[in-house]
Structure 1
Amino acid sequence: MIAIITGDIVNSEQYPASNWMPLLKKVLQKNGKQPEFWDIYRGDEFQLKSTPDKALELAIEIKAVIKSIKNLDVRLAIGLGDESYAGGRITEANGSAYKRSGRMFEALKEEKRTLALACGHQQMDQTLNLMIKLALNFMDDWSTVSANTVSYTLQHPEISQQEMAMEFKVQQSAISQRQTRARTHLVLELIEYYQQTIKQIVP
C-alpha cells in the first residue's frame, strides 16, 4: 500500500513561482527523486508518493510551509491504495491510490476545502475527514508566523522550545505562545491518531 498526495497552490498567481517553488521542492525532495516519487506540472500542481503512515504529516507540513507566505495556501488530496503501474514517472503511474487521490482532489475544488483523504474504507474516511475538517477551522486561518512555527516543529520533531527560541532569536515564552496560537498540540495529536488508525488497513 502507498499514499499519493495530489495538490496545487491556491492564489499562486499572486506571487512569482520563485517565492514558493523552492519551499515546496524542499519538502518534496525529502521523499525521493523526481519524477519517480514526485513531480510539479502545469505550473502549480504537484503529485507526491509517500508511505501511508507519513502522508498526513507530509500534507500538513506542505500546507504550513506554503502558508508561511502571506495569502498563499495549498489544496491537498491524499489517496491510499495500491500502485498497479509505476512507469518511472509519478504522473504516468496508476492504481487505486492515484485514482482516489485524483477524485478527492476534484471534490476538494468543488467543495472549497483544502485537505481531505480517501483510503477506501467508508467509516474510516468519514471519521478522519471529519477530524481534518475540524482542524482546518484553524489551519486555514494560520498566520504566516503560526504556519512557520508548525512547519519548523514538524521538520524538527525532537527540538525543544528553548532550542527553537534560539533559532528564531526570540524568548522561549514567545515560542510557547506561537505554538499555542497555531494549535500545534492538536496538529500533532491529529497526526498521531491518523497513524494509529491506518495501521488497521496497512498490511
Structure 2
Amino acid sequence: MIAVLTGDIVNSGLYPGEKWMPVLREVLGRLGAQPEEWDIYRGDEFQVKTPLDKALETALLLKSSLASFRNLDVRLAIGLGDETFSGQKITESNGSAYRNSGRLFSELKSGRQSLALRSKWEEKDEVINLMLRLALSFMDEWTPVSAETVAWTLLHPHSSQEEMATHFGIRQSAVSQRQKRARTDLVFELLDFYRTFYKE
C-alpha cells in the first residue's frame, strides 16, 4: 500500500508565486523525483506519492511550511490504497490510492475542512478524520512563527531545544513557549497514533 496526497494552496493569490513556490518545491523535493513521485500543475495544485507511514507527516510538513506565510494554507486529501499502474508522471499513475485521494480532494474543495483521509477502512477513517478535525481547531490558528516551529521540528525531530534556539536566534526559554503555542506535543502524538492505526 501507498499514500497519495492531492492538494492545493489556499489563498495562493495573496503572494507572488516566486515567494511560496520554492518552499513547496523544497518540501516535495525531499520526497522523491519530479514528475514520477510528485508534480505541480495548474499553478497551485500538486500531487505527491509517499510511503503509507509518512503520509500524515508529509501533510503536516506541507501545511506548516506554507502556513509560515501569513494567511496561506494548504488543502490536502490523503488517499491510502494500492498503485496498479506507475506512469512516467504521477498524474498518469493509477490505483485505489490515487482514486481515493482525487475524489476526496474534489469533496474538500466544496467544503470547509482542509485536511482529510480516505482508505478502504471506513471505520478507521471515521476515527482519524474526527481526530484531524479536532487537530485543525488549533493547526488552522497557527501563526507564521508557530508554523515555522512545527515545520522545523518535523524536519529535525531529534534536535534539542538548544539547537532550535540557535537556528532561530532566540533564547531556549522562547523555544519552549513557541512549542507550547504550536502544540507540537499533540502534533507528534497524532503522528504516532496514525502510524500505529494504519500499520500494514
Gaps of at least 5 residues in structure 1 are none
Residue 163 (structure 1) shift: 0.9
The alignment partner of 2:9 has SS state of strand
Separation of aligned partners in 2, 1:72 and 1:142: 11
The TM-score with structure 1 as length reference comes to 0.97
Q: Deviations over 1:41-89 (max 9, x none)?
A: 0000000000010000000000000000011000000000011111111
Q: Is 2:178 the counterpart of 1:178?
A: yes
The TM-score with structure 2 as length reference comes to 0.99
- Which residue number corresponds to residue 100 of structure 2? 100
Residue 112 (structure 1) shift: 1.3
Give the letter for the 1:95 counterpart: G
- Which residue number corresponds to residue 162 of structure 2? 162
Give the letter for the 1:2 counterpart: I
Q: Is 2:92 the counterpart of 1:67?
A: no
Identity, % of aligned positions: 57
Give the letter for the 1:194 counterpart: Y
Separation of aligned partners in 1, 2:88 and 2:179: 40
Separation of aligned partners in 2, 1:56 and 1:91: 20
Give the letter for the 2:76 counterpart: L
Q: Deviations over 1:96-155 (max 9, x none)?
A: 000000111111112211100011101100000000100000001100000000000000
Q: Is 2:30 the counterpart of 1:30?
A: yes
- Which residue number corresponds to residue 78 of structure 1? 78
Gaps of at least 5 residues in structure 2 are none
- Which residue number corresponds to residue 16 of structure 2? 16
Separation of aligned partners in 2, 1:54 and 1:14: 30
Residue 166 (structure 1) shift: 1.0
- Which residue number corresponds to residue 190 of structure 1? 190
Give the letter for the 2:136 counterpart: L
Give the letter for the 2:127 counterpart: T
The alignment partner of 2:27 has SS state of helix
Q: Deviations over 1:23-56 (max 9, x none)?
A: 0111101111000000000000000000010000
Name the count of aligned residue pairs.
200
Separation of aligned partners in 2, 1:114 and 1:184: 19
**Stretch of structure 1 that moved more, 162-171 or 145-154:** 162-171
* Runs of 4+ residues deviating >2 angstroms: none
Separation of aligned partners in 1, 2:18 and 2:119: 34
Give the letter for the 1:125 counterpart: D
Give the letter for the 1:193 counterpart: F
- Which residue number corresponds to residue 109 of structure 1? 109
The alignment partner of 2:6 has SS state of strand
Calculate the aligned-residue CA RMSD, in Å: 0.6
Give the letter for the 1:58 counterpart: T
